[in-house]
Amino acid sequence: LILSEPWLRGVVGFVPSCLASQPASSHPQLFHTLIGLPHDRNLNDMGQLMIVTHLRLRSPALRDELVAKLRETTWRVRQEGTGGMVRSGLLVPREEEDGITLYTYTVYEDAAAIVHYRGTPAMKEFYAWNMVNDIVTGIPTMYQLELIDGLGFCHTNIPDTTGLHAVLAELKYKPDTVPKAVAHWKDVIEKAGKEEEEEDARTVAYNVATTSEDEHALFILKLYQDPEGSSDGQGSRSAIVEGVESTKSILTGQNCMQLKIIAGFIS
């Protein structure tokens, strides 16, 4: 179901509707400007945050250079023991890869960890390197999600997640129905987690998140070990299908992207 709908954007990329309508000037500059955090929330009250970025490189030849630099930077930050960065990954479209489309995702313990991470010497050097080398073309799409506490699971301590696959989905619901949708997803993911315990943890991580930009949206991120793990009737994929089906009566829109990880870690 979720992979055959007409809203699948293909290689153009996953652009959340909550950001697609914003003018270019409202998008933060990649790797340089700290994205805006909700002004109506106490940052100390916020849980884990996930930053997702969609960007396009000037040429395919630059991708390996960027990946190598990001690997080095992430390793340095972790070696410095700064903490707060739970998991991170670089991803590309699983099919119809063009060599210039790239996604990044990073999960932080809290908002303070983002501020601290962006201020580390390793990241400051990376900002400078990126500015000088002019790697990215156009204005990247960057957005912030807050993971719903207790809704999901993650198998930890995987030093290299290269080769894993991912599904990133945005689900739009009717006004005032998100709490109902969350309850459905909670049941579905708990069931999937139990199935994965019996099937040698094929699904590595499963999370549901919200954004302050759109109170009617939920975002789903799933990391799994092989493409076959996304087929109907095999636990991890069927959980997404079941979640969509169980909330179909209140669903108003869907957006999805199949991706694969080319570099990353889970701590």
pLDDT over threshold 90, residue 261: yes
Q: How far apart are CA 2 and CA 24, in angstroms?
A: 29
- 129 close to 180: Cβ distance less than 8 angstroms: no
**Residue 35: what pLDDT?**
38
Domains of the chain: 10-266 (3.30.70.100)
Q: pLDDT tier at 190 (50, 70, 90 boundaries)?
A: confident
Query: For residue 233, what are the CA distances in angstroms to 174, 176, 225, 229?
Result: 28, 31, 16, 9
pLDDT over threshold 60, residue 224: yes
Q: How far apart are CA 170 and CA 178, in angstroms?
A: 13
The letter for the amino acid at 148 is I
Q: pLDDT tier at 127 (50, 70, 90 boundaries)?
A: confident
Q: Is the dihedral of CA 243, 246, 249, 250 positive or negative?
A: negative
